[in-house]
Structure 1
Amino acid sequence: MPLRLPPWEHQMLAGQVDGDFSSTLKADKTCLTAWPDVGDTQWGGSTCLAMKWSSLCGRNFIKYMSAWDDQAAATNPAWMSERLLERKPISASLDNNVTVTTAWLDDHDVAAESEKAGRIINNITIAVPHRGIPAAARNVQNDLLQPEDLHDGGSYSIHASVASFALNALCVNAKEEELAPLIYTNWPNAIPMEEGSKSVNWWPILGFPEGTNTNNKTVLDDVFGWKDETEDHSRARPIFLKYPKAGNTIANHTQVPYELGDRPEVYLLGKAPDNTTKDYFLCSMKAGITTSCTTRYNASSGGQSLEAVCDDANGKHSDDSAIQPLRSTGDRTALVGWRDLGFNLLNSLSLNNGVFDGDASTARIFTQLQLTEPKLNKTLPSPAEALLSMTTCTVLDLTQNFPFQPFSPTSASDFTTPQMQYFNASVRVAQYMSGGEKSYQKALLVVLALTLLINIFILIYFAVLLRIKLITDLCEPLVLFVLGYHSPPADGLFQGRPQEGPQKRDMTVEWIVKRKGEQLVVVGMGERDGELEGEGRGSGGVGGWFRMRRRGGDRGEDREEGSPEGLRP
């Protein structure tokens, strides 16, 4: 009986939720629950996150980069393309046993956008699947048959209509003079920094005193949507301490007060090493929530996978289970609180070490990806793709119990304790079933039905109509033993010496089975031409004789012969 995939079935599933995105802002506190208390109340949480993300996010970046090796380029795979939707999707690992695959959101044409802006524009957005689906699938309330329930032989798939995280990275090439209004050391009122080793703590606390604003207009304002603080605090321009030297990156750590409206982005300024280009490149990163994608989860004895499924190039949802996205209002609303998490990420990966010319390894590898032409490199990822491969781990690590429908009326204050939240899904569980999987295979049922009917007819014909009895097989050793036991001593094979048993000379005697009256007996071949009482040629019943030659012959085999008038075995 083979494993078979039944049709998709609509089902309401439930999972545990424990707050909205604001709960992730407590990441520095929750991280410490897995650490011993060392009394570091000020920096303990951020240090914990830095250690954790340097491993998780760094590993994602290394894995993504390794996919673009020279061996892969030599085979010229289809995903090494200049078109974004055809390129290799960004993947990650969840809990070390679930492969996570993101999906591209929007097909940004680098060449077209660069031509319009007059500079190289690398704008990419991805959807990250909801990481709470694997836990919901194993919730006992949903009563789903797990692979281990079928002795590791089954599998199931879930297509969930839930929200997904949207991560965006926008990288723009700019000349040195274009960035001058954003570089603090170029300002006439800049406070000089006495010691470069103290730059991380000095900047921006001491170098950016209260009353300083970021109202320096730039040619990049329209690209990033920057505005003066007096107009919109959340769109204030970032300020960098200095120009990073080649092969280094510097993060923007300036911010306006939360109560005035904080910006949702984190910024990174870098320059390619070895003077491969005179331009710098400036990247912004932000996170939001999208309801235009679904989450697909597959579990089997061979492994687990979690992936985001979004609309294709024609605007059609490519999910074959007929489940549709939520498509709520407020799609892709930027999450302001993620900015602090982004800063922690950049610090943990040493992407801010350019402040003191740290020459970090990650920064050098990353800056080597800077685009020098208005098109995607076929053999290397772009800076935006690389940044997204790093930032994916932040939402995967922190959103275990994130709501499945974040735009519901439920607010963060309602989550004083974990709650169960329901969501629409299509479920397909592979089980042991009979029958074919393809529609044309149903035609074989006609053949099977005819075979059954023919067998029933034959059974009735022989057993009822003809009433044929079973025939005893005289060749079976047990039957021959019984015949020999009942053979009379006078006519038997041993000539009146049954108590002595067979002798060596008896083994050379050929024997036959003959009928004596109503009884079959075993006699020597000497009786073949004679007639026993009540027997004659052509008599009814078994009749004739049944002969087995002695052992011997050229090859020591048992040879059989039969009279035309007798029975042959």
Structure 2
Amino acid sequence: MSINAGEGEGDQRRLLQREDSIAGLYAAPIAPPRPTKSPKPSSSPILRHGYHRMDSSPDLDDAVSKSSPKPSINSYFENDEQQPRGLGISDRRTSIPRVPVGSRTSIHSRTSSNPFVSPLDSPQISEPSYIYNGEGSARNTPRIEEEQDVTKGRNSQFTEVFNTEEDGGNHLDCPSTETFYSKRTSWLSISILGLSLYSTIFSGIWLVLAIAQPRYGRFIRSGGNFAPTTASTVFALFAKTIELSFVTVFVTFLGQVLSRRSLAKNSRGMTIAEMTMRTWVLQPGFMITHGQHLYHVGISLLGAITLTAAFIAMFYTTASDALVSPHLKFGGWEHKMMYGSVQSSYANPDFIKANCRTPITAVMDPVEGGNECISLDYAGQAYHNSIAYMSTWADIRAAGGTSTNLTDRPQAPGMLYDNTTVTGRWILTNTSDIRAAHQTYNRVINNVSLAMPHAGVLAAAQDSKNFILQPEDLAGVGQYSLRASVISPAVNVMCVNMNKTELKPIVYAEWAHAKTNSSTVPGQKVAWSGYESEIQFLPGHNYTNKTVVDDLFEWGEKYGRQTPIFPMLPIDYNTITNISAANHSDSVYLLAKSPNITDYTLCQLRSFVSPSCSTYYNVSGTTGGHIEARCEDEHDDMAYSKSVPDAPTVRNSDWRNVAAQWMLATSMDDGITNANASIARLLTQLIVPASGDLNNSLPSLAEHLSVMIGSTLLSSTILSGYYHYWDSTETLLAQPEYKPFNASLVSQQYASGYTSKWEGIFYLVLLLVFATNVCCLVYLFLRSGLVTDYTEPQNLFALAVNSPPSQAVAGSCGAGPKGEQLNVNWHVDREDTSGHFFFKNAGRGDAPQDFELRRRPTGVSRSMSSYSRLSKKRSNFL
């Protein structure tokens, strides 16, 4: 027989007491039950609908029962084979013991063996109770006398029931004590919005820096206030904060989209796969270990956005390091006005002598102190250049030779300040064709012109006035290149083969009335020591004897230049110089004798400044400095002639004094004593033979002389003018003055931007992060406040354990959901009367409302009000 719910109050109490007695057999002692209130006759009794845990392991009961019998819990439904399986928590708090599988023992029979329980207290039939069946409706199922086999209904091994007697019959459905909605003025909303603003602003700045690629100049340099290592750390720190704030903001955005969708009744809710999308961003490896989730949600719009956000968040720091963090990199060519110190005109011998660094002071050696210093410098540089040049030709000879075209032959080497290599350039090559000259003048004419860079450009580049970062300012590894539109010093060396008869007018010992001395060399005439006193001009003229080569060397009245006079003819392997032709002369001369030909060779050396060149200076912290002249290039927009149109080629007479000192220092005049100097022996073997063909394995005499004397061109331009004219009345200024000149500069500085082209792909990362930040900021700003993020683990857990079971996820409690269970849509629903929130499978009926909420806390009222408003929202496209 059954007992109806409407019977007397005493019967009802007696039944509840018996239930307590049963629970006490298998549970820990509990406090004495409080007296319950009897329901009013006019209303149905307040009964708690029982949530029960569904079985997720169909074979678990059988396996356990076979191994060892354990207490079982009486099923709510006898012979009910359709009970859903899955997770769920009952709202009953007192557990009923479990009966082993296959047992049909009644509660009366089980309790009768307990000495503390009377058989009379064992209930036979319970009052009807409302059980929530997981399908959105309640079932009115009477309690039965005999406990059924738990395997029939596939109920959980640990089904829990709620003891309404313990709570006095007033326990309600877990009403939310706090509102799930945070206003815009709440700390949570303000902090999230602040992080979104920070991430948006700085990701925008990072994108602008990557695109603009600013150069930080002297702001980031070694020894400055912002060292390169400090700058790298600061940029990395900001990039990391942008990444962290982006991840925080995006995860919040994602949680708001899904939570609001789950609250809106007219939306499709959210799936388990969508709940895990936040993990993609926080833990990218999750996409590898749980690839099935990508299959279920990755192709959706929100899934694609989240997948993109996960990848760009993962590579943001790398993108920042590649495109924003300061790196040493070249910029473009920058035209600028530079300034260099100028104190003297070009090739001023007095200034060169005064600035030669030597410990021998003018007091110690007032006569030759300065000359001996510059002589050593000239000799050292000349021999250094000679050795380097001959070494290059040795390699060419070993390789089988080179071209006979001057422009294709090795350029002139040099050295400046012992740390900067120098390269000269052959110019006026149209006048250097030996074959053409031989056809015109029927003699061998070896004519070359060499231009060297302006040495003053190097000092200007290192002057702090021009704000050029040096390698030492960039951790010793910086580099820059400079093109200066300045004049270039040049030297012309013309060597002409002449026989003894043709040389007679300019060789004193060969004159008819010459005073000569005896020589140890048979047949050689040696001029007496005072031969210069007998040199006279032609009657009525200011010039000496005429020669057959006056037009070649531009001698005589027609050209206004004096002819040289040599004391005697040199013997084989020797050279003699003339440096005394002071009257209207700008040249020095060298007379040499080759052992390979019968003719003698006369060389003229003179200097001029060329407007057809520019000076190119390149310096690197790893390879050192290099300065060179670039000449006669029609594509060179920094040639001096481009800055000063129609600038003339200006010959310089001061250089003759510099060259005279150089000839004495290099033993070019030792042939007057038949000294057989080593340098003279080398040079005479380079004389072009009578055939008039350049040797493709040897340099010519004119080429080698140009290389050796090129060092004087460099020393003559130190602190000298940059123009083809001297704009001061004094050839030597008391103090240096800054003079401007046009220049182009390309330099390495610490700058943002990529250093390799392939790194440009990271622009997409920076752009997408900024765009995503903007979208998140707009979304969060338009939403007035935040709702509880039900995708957060703690919120998800709290909501799940207070939700009814569902057949949709049956069998997932052990290994987790999979397959189509990931696609099941879920809503966050609310009990209208109590304010209880729980998960509900989308499309199912409402939860049973079998009780009235008599006392509603303030927090519950706010939550219910917020839910009513949000649940009616239209679903968005995400």
In 2 relative to 1, CA 407–88 (structure 1 residues): closer, same or farther, beyond 3 Å? same
Residues 59-115 of structure 1, C-alpha deviations (whole Å, 9 max, x = no match): 11111111100x4333357xx211111111102000011111112211122211221
8 Å CA contact 1:248, 1:363 repeated in 2: yes
How do residues 201-216 of structure 1 correspond to structure 2 at under 5 angstroms? 206-209=530-533, 212-213=536-537, 215-216=544-545
Q: Say whether residues 1:419 and 2:745 are aligned partners.
A: no
Q: Return the offset for 1:389.
A: 0.8
Equivalent residue number for residue 658 of structure 2? 341
Distance 1:545 1:330 in 2: 93
| Equivalent residues of 2:487, 2:640 under 8 A apart | no
For 1:95, the equivalent position in structure 2 comes to 417
1:363 aligns to 2:363 (yes or no): no
Q: 1:388 is aligned with what amino acid?
A: S
Q: Label 1:293 to 1:351 Cα distance change in 2 as closer, same or farther (>3 A).
A: same
**Hey, what does 1:375 align to over in structure 2?**
693
- Confirm or deny that 1:136 pairs with 2:460: yes
Give the 3 Å change call, closer, same or farther, for CA 150–235 of structure 1 in structure 2: same
Residue 522 of structure 1 aligns with which residue?
none
Q: Does the 8 A contact of 1:294 with 1:325 survive in 2? A: no
Q: Which is greater in Rg?
A: 2
Aligned-partner SS, 1:68: helix
- Seen in structure 2, the aligned counterparts of structure 1 residues 564 and 99 have a Cα distance that, compared at 3 Å, is closer
Three-state SS of the structure 1 residue aligned to 2:422 is: strand
C-alpha RMSD of the superposition: 4.0
8 Å contact from structure 2 (residues 536, 544) kept in 1 = no
Q: What does residue range 41-52 of structure 1 map to in structure 2 within 5 Å?
A: 41-52=366-377
Contact 2:485 2:741 in 1 (8 A): yes
Q: Structure 1 residue 353 and structure 2 residue 670: aligned?
A: yes
The CA deviation string for residues 294-323 of structure 1, in whole angstroms up to 9 with x for no partner, is 1111122121111111123xxx1435x698
Aligned pairs for 1:75-154 (under 5 A) are: 75-76=399-400, 80-107=402-429, 108-154=432-478
Q: 3-state DSSP class of the match of 1:21? A: coil
Distance change (3 Å), C-alpha of 1:25 and 1:191: farther
Q: Distance in 1 between matches of 2:391 and 2:745?
A: 34
Aligned-partner SS, 2:411: coil
What's the CA shift string for 1:273-298, capped at 9, x where partnerless? xx321121111101111222111111
The amino acid of 1:243's aligned partner reads L
The letter for the 2-side match of 1:347 is L
Specify which of 355, 377, 380 is matched with residue 55 of structure 1.
380
- Which whole-Å CA distance do the structure 2 matches of 1:109 and 1:219 have between them? 21
Equivalent runs, 1:393-542 vs 2, <5 Å? 393-407=711-725, 409-412=727-730, 415-435=733-753, 444=761, 447-448=764-765, 452=769, 469=791
Structure 1 CA distance for aligned equivalents of residues 498 and 692 of structure 2? 13
**Shift of the alpha carbon at 1:398?**
3.6
Q: Helix, strand or coil for the counterpart of 1:18?
A: strand
Aligned to 1:277: 597
Per-residue Cα deviation, 1:500-558 (whole angstroms, up to 9, x for no partner): xxxxxxxxxxxxxxxxx979xxxxxxxxxxxxxxxx99998997457xxxxxxxxxxxx
Q: Cα–Cα, structure 1 residues 66 and 542, in superposed 2: closer, same or farther, change >3 Å?
A: farther
Where does residue 191 of structure 2 map in the other structure? none
Q: Secondary structure at the match of 1:350?
A: coil
Can you list the C-alpha shifts for 1:339-376, whole angstroms capped at 9, x where unaligned? 12212111111111110100000010111111113232
The one-character-per-residue Cα deviations of 1:169-206 (angstroms, maximum 9, x if unpaired) are 00111122221222211112212247899xxxx97861
Higher-helix-fraction structure? 2
Instruction: Give the counterpart letter for 1:126 in structure 2.
Output: L
Alignment of 1:233-272 (within 5 A): 234-256=560-582, 261-272=583-594
Query: How far did residue 152 of structure 1 move?
Result: 2.5
1:311 to 626, 632, 639: 632
Inter-partner Cα distance in structure 2 for 1:282 and 1:377: 19
Q: 1:539 to 1:49 in 2, by over 3 A?
A: same
Q: Does 1:295 align with 2:615?
A: yes
| Deviation string, structure 1 residues 94-143 (Cα, Å, up to 9, x no partner) | 00111111122111222112211111111111211110111111211111
Q: Which residue identity lines up with residue 386 of structure 2 in the other structure?
A: F
From the superposition, tell whether residues 117 and 28 of structure 1 become closer, same or farther in structure 2 (CA, over 3 Å). same
Measured in 2, the distance between the counterparts of 1:541 and 1:196 equals 124
SS in 2 for 1:318: coil
Aligned residues: 474
Matched residue, 2:143: none
The equivalent residue for 1:503 is none
User: Per-residue deviation at 1:43?
Assistant: 3.2
Task: Label 1:152 to 1:425 Cα distance change in 2 as closer, same or farther (>3 A).
Answer: same
Describe the superposition over 1:402-461 as per-residue Cα deviations: whole angstroms up to 9, x where unpaired: 0112415333357232111111111112224444579x979857755675479769989x
Amino acid in the other structure paired with 1:357: N
Rounded to whole Å, the distance in 2 between the matches of 1:375 and 1:28 is 40
* Structure 1 position 155, deviation (Å): 1.5
Amino acid across the alignment from 2:352: A
**Code of the aligned partner of 1:67:** T
TM-score, scaled relative to structure 2:
0.49
Match of 2:336 in 1: 11
Alpha-carbon deviations, 1:471-519, whole Å to 9, x = none? 69xxxxxxxxxxxxxxxxxxxxxxxxxxxxxxxxxxxxxxxxxxxx979
Aligned partners of 1:166 and 1:332 also within 8 Å:
no
Q: 1:322 to 1:467 in 2, by over 3 A?
A: farther
Deviation at 1:56, TM superposition (A): 1.5
Correspondence for 1:190: 514
Q: Tell me which amino acid in the other structure corresponds to 1:18.
A: Q
1:67 aligned onto 2:388: no
Secondary structure, in 3 states, of the residue corresponding to 1:67? Answer: helix
| Percent of pairs with identical residues | 31
CA contact 1:131–1:400 (8 Å) conserved in 2 = yes
> Do the aligned partners of residues 33 and 326 (structure 1) sit closer, same or farther apart at CA in structure 2, a change above 3 Å counting?
farther
Distance in 2 (CA, whole Å) between partners of 1:149 and 1:131 is 22
Which residue type is aligned with residue 10 of structure 1?
Answer: H
The structure-2 alpha-carbon separation of the partners of 1:322 and 1:544, relative to structure 1 and needing over 3 Å to count, comes to farther
Q: 1:251 offset after TM fit, Å?
A: 0.5
Q: Residue 317 of structure 1 contacts residue 324 of structure 1 at CA under 8 Å; is this kept in 2? A: no
Give the direction of change, closer, same or farther, for the CA distance of 1:541–1:116 in structure 2 (3 Å limit): farther
Tell me the secondary structure at the aligned position of residue 480 of structure 2: strand
Residues 233, 358 of structure 1: CA spacing in aligned structure 2 closer, same or farther, 3 A cutoff? farther
Whether the 8 Å contact between 2:490 and 2:713 is mirrored in structure 1 is: no
Per-residue CA deviations over 1:154-174 (Å, capped at 9, x if unaligned) read 211111111110111001111
Query: Structure 1's 183 and 311: CA in aligned 2 closer, same or farther, altered over 3 A?
Result: same
* Aligned partners of 2:340 and 2:463 also within 8 Å: yes
Q: Which amino acid aligns with 1:371?
A: V
Letter in 2 for 1:157: S
Partner amino acid, structure 2, of 1:219: V
Contact 1:32 1:44 in 2 (8 A): no
Q: Whole-Å Cα distance in 1 between the matches of residues 396 and 788 of structure 2?
A: 74
